[in-house]
Structure 1
Amino acid sequence: MTPRLVFVPAGQCDATGQSSRRVRGRPGDVNARRHIYACRFRDRTSRVPLSKASQRNPLSGSPHPPSAKTAPLRLALGGAFALAAAMGIGRFVYTPILPFMAEGIPLSAANAGLIASANFLGYLVGALAGSLGGLPGSQRSWFLSALLASAVTTIAMGLTDHLAVFLLLRFFGGVASAFVLVFASALVLEQLAMTGRAGLSALHFAGVGSGIALSAILVAVLGGNGFSWQELWFASGLTTLGLLIAITWLVPRPRKEFGSIETPDTQSGRKSGRYSGDLLRLVIAYGLFGFGYVITTTFISVITRQTPELNEAEAVVWLAVGLSAAPSIYVWNRLSGRYGPTRAFAAACLAEAVGVGLSVTADTPALIIVAAALVGGTFVAISALGLIEARRLTTGDPRQALGIMTASFGLGQVVGPWFAGLLHEMTGDFQAPSFAAAISLVVAAGLVLMRTKTVLKESPRPVVPDWDSLRAQLLSEGKADLVDAIETLRAEGGKIDAIRQLRKNGYLDGPEN
């Protein structure tokens, strides 16, 4: 049933605890002269979506901007464009351009790995700095400025051939891409959750894979027509600028009523809790994953070019990574909802290990494309699954755990390309570093499956948590399907089945059955 909009005098609340604000009508409107007041929901303990009725203009009946029907899709599309620009192009376009740079400069494998590591070091610094808060100015200003910086550093890569300048540009490009990711979460994901459309987060994260696919097509077409490596960087940066123009319109300045509401915990500051064995193992596994995926995603185009049997697949191998990455968040979220986030994380790591190993053993174009699809179809999803699981396992302030996870992941990313480049100089190929990466992914899967059977006594999480708070958390994590399933079970009186479903998905301690 459609929720009813209640009108009360300003400064008062209705029986549901809704606070009110005054709404002015159009000149000449009879209702405007009678001082109509509309209630706005402001739950102080959790983020709850506004009802569709409460988002409508009480005078005209039309939706307030942003529209409940169009604004969430517009925001998700803007977020996807932003991740395509900053991550798919700004962060990962180096991979398809690298073979052209290696031949045109020339560039050794060791230096190529060092340049990649500089970018990932910048990403680590940017992710940690952006998540600390306290930055002056609005989030949207930082968001758009970071996108502009990503475009500028990308274009500037084509203006030099000096290693030191490459390192600086890729470092600052990494900082910019991390800032875009951090502020996109605040501007897009939180608003999607508050409007009850958290399921659109899959479209938002599809931007990473879509950007990779776009960069693959761009480099393949231009490179195939004789463009130099410098011109490939110019074209990539200009593409980012074009996306920035669209993003500026698609992601408007957030309205106050759609802003996040601090919980009592965040207002007073939560104390740090003791980290469980499960969380510590997850942190290590996340670092191993960072090391395991980054070698292949950095050098797969070079591997394809250097292997005569695979040359004809060079134009499509990076495209396969992107096309597989685009829907991966949606697919693995469904698998996580069915089998639990821990099993999904482990399964994705094992699938990626197969892809990493296959990337250096494939002897046909079809096999290298399969390897690319396995890597592309898992690495974005593992990133999200790991952070979701860390948030669930945290007994204290989740920001501390997420910061440690980011540091572990970033360290693995920084070490991976540098390590692979050095081993390539020693052995002449990428087999040894790729096998090391595959082993690290298998170890990561094993670590997260070593579940602790006992619950820490100091854990504040109750056996059956408050549903409103848990519902808000699930929506913020893009688990709209799970929320619908639980609410259906609750409505039908199946509370025990609902608890079992939550346990199965890792949101309650105890056996799954």
Structure 2
Amino acid sequence: MSSVPTPAADSLPRRAPAHWWTAARLALGTASALGISRFAYGLLLPAMRTDLHWSLARAGALTTANSVGYLLGAALAGVAARRWGPTVTFRLGMVLTALSLAATAVSSAYLALLTARTAAGVGGALVFVAGGVIASRGAAAARSPAPITIYFSGAGLGIALSGASLPGLLAHAPHDWPAAWIGLAAFAVLATAASWTAARVDEPELRSAAGRRRVRRLWRTAVAYLLFAGGYIAYVTFLSAALGQERTPVWQISMLWTLLGISAMAAPRVWDPLIGRWPPARVLTTLLALLAAASALPLVSSSYAVLAVSVLAYGATFMTVPAAVTATIRGATRPEDWAPTLSAFTTVFAAGQTVGPWAAGAVADRTSAAATLAWTAALCAAAALVAAAPSGPAR
């Protein structure tokens, strides 16, 4: 597998800043579709659970509904990107995400909430796949993995903003969770507007090429990605609930969540050089092992210092896993195969996320909310072992 080549010394100052700025605006896609639409639910969950009298399994089912939508969106994304191009697909996903966030505030009926969260998942998958293709084109033009890692680190902005605002608001007025969803929808609208031109792609081959899914040669990466997807989502979904069960003060929950987002935003500085120089399997194994350790730390101690280390390490790694997988796909396939292969891997990712939150919540209902953290640690550790195993010859 080829790594991303290093740019020539005389081209970097002239070309990279423009690509980085475009990637930063494109990253508002993951900020909205992932950081706000998916991960902020972990902050809203305690208030919604209290107000609507949910069990942890019932609360986790909303994340499962979001993942079912993500699964549907992943199946559609490759087709949409080939038919309409990644630009239209990305913009469609952004609009759908904003509308679904607003719809989540309309009714407290469980079926309505499930429907809205499913629609948000569809929009998120369209953004994820199409944005990944656009970022990959940017990485090829810049001769650097930075556009890819910057794009995925955008989720950290959504996490940081929701972490800084939602816990305090809901602690004083837990019944106002619909207003919180409206605020998140407003951010999604602004993100859609700001990222609109950054998603523009001029190459006609991205629309017309009939690429193929190239999964067989990357099957080990796909299995590790499946395990990661089933595990990582439990941490961000149930972390607030686990901390609340331990009587952690609201300001500490808010600070920890904000640290998680800031750490995710800073991740490209740490991982860009390694993604460019290390073999893809080594990068993925290292990320997954760090995730397993980070998610297990709160099980060892509930002290604030340990929790801070946990969220900082987790934030610096969890959104870099999709970036590393995308970079692996980019190095192992032809440009015309990027969209269908990313779509296939996003389907694998969505399948893991569909089962993970419900299963972790069901286990926690019979034990404690801390079991969700153990779930994340176990599945990420298993994924690291799969990624680290020696690969056979490519087929």
* TM, length-normalised to structure 2: 0.85
Task: Confirm whether residue 353 of structure 1 aligns to residue 284 of structure 2.
Answer: no
Letter aligned with residue 237 of structure 1: A
Is 1:412 the equivalent of 2:352? yes
Of residues 173, 178, 187, the one that matches 1:239 is: 187
Instruction: Tell me the distance in 2 between the aligned counterparts of 1:374 and 1:141.
Output: 35
Map 1:222-237 → 2, pairs under 5 A: 222-223=169-170, 226=173, 228-237=176-185
Superimposed CA distance per residue, residues 461-505 of structure 1 (whole angstroms, 9 cap, x where no aligned partner): xxxxxxxxxxxxxxxxxxxxxxxxxxxxxxxxxxxxxxxxxxxxx
Number of residue pairs matched by the alignment: 383
Q: Match for residue 160 of structure 1?
A: 107
1:284 corresponds to 2:223: yes
Structure 1 vs Structure 2 CA RMSD: 3.2
Amino acid at match of 2:255: V
Pairs within 5 Å for 1:441-452: 441-452=380-391
- What amino acid is the match of 2:282? R
Change (3 A) 1:449 1:300: same
Check the 8 A contact 1:391/1:402 in 2, yes or no: no
Deviations 1:417-457 (A, max 9, x none): 10011112222x133343233122212111122113x635x
Alignment of 1:435-446 (within 5 A): 435-446=374-385
Where 1:240 maps in the other structure, the secondary structure is: helix
Instruction: Find the residue that maps to 2:325 and give its secondary structure.
Output: helix
Q: Structure 1's 131 and 442: CA in aligned 2 closer, same or farther, altered over 3 A?
A: same
* Larger helix share, 1 or 2: 2
2:283 to 344, 348, 352: 344
Look up the SS of the partner of 2:105 in the other structure: helix
| Amino acid paired to 2:216 | Y
Kindly report structure 1 stretches of 4+ aligned residues shifted beyond 4 Å: 67-71, 134-139, 186-189, 195-198, 260-263, 266-270, 309-312, 390-404
The separation in 2 between residues aligned to 1:441 and 1:367, in whole angstroms, is: 19
CA–CA distance in 2 between the matches of 1:327 and 1:314?
Answer: 20
Quick one: which amino acid aligns to residue 379 of structure 1? F
1:335 maps onto 2:274 in alignment: yes
**Bigger mean CA deviation after superposition, 400-409 or 364-373:** 400-409
**Secondary structure, aligned partner of 1:378:** coil
Residue 148 (structure 1) aligns with:
95
Query: 1 or 2 for the larger relative contact order (CA 8 Å, sep ≥6)?
Result: 2
Take 2:34 and 2:73, find their aligned partners in 1: how far apart are those partners?
Answer: 13
Could you tell me the TM-score, scaled by structure 1's length?
A: 0.67
Q: How do 1:252-267 and structure 2 match up within 5 A? A: 253-254=200-201, 256=202, 259=203, 261=205
After TM superposition, the structure 1 = structure 2 runs for residues 93-112 of structure 1, keeping only pairs within 5 Å, are 93-112=40-59
Residue 244 of structure 1: CA displacement? 2.4
- Structure 1: state its 5+ residue gaps: 1-48, 54-66, 460-513
Quick one: distance in 1 between partners of 2:84 and 2:205? 19
* In 1, Cα distance between equivalents of 2:211 and 2:49: 50
Q: CA offset at residue 145 of structure 1?
A: 3.1
In the alignment, which residue of structure 2 is the partner of 1:77?
A: 24
Q: Which amino acid aligns with 2:121?
A: G
Distance 1:191 1:447, change over 3 A: closer
State the Cα distance separating 1:336 from its structure 2 match: 3.3
Q: Which residue is 2:4 aligned to?
A: none
User: Comparing 398-407 with 366-375, which one deviates more in the overlay?
Assistant: 398-407
Alignment of 1:15-414 (within 5 A): 71-133=18-80, 137=84, 139-191=86-138, 193-194=140-141, 199-223=146-170, 226=173, 228-248=176-196, 250-251=197-198, 253-254=200-201, 256=202, 259=203, 261=205, 275-276=216-217, 279-309=218-248, 312-390=251-329, 392=331, 402-414=342-354
Counterpart check, 1:426 vs 2:366: yes
Counting aligned pairs with the same residue, the percent is: 26
- Structure 1 residues 373 and 415: alpha-carbon distance in aligned structure 2, compared to 1, 3 A threshold: same
In structure 2, the CA distance between the partners of 1:121 and 1:330, relative to structure 1 (3 Å rule), is farther
Q: Describe the shift of the 1:252–1:364 C-alpha distance in structure 2 as closer, same or farther (beyond 3 A).
A: closer
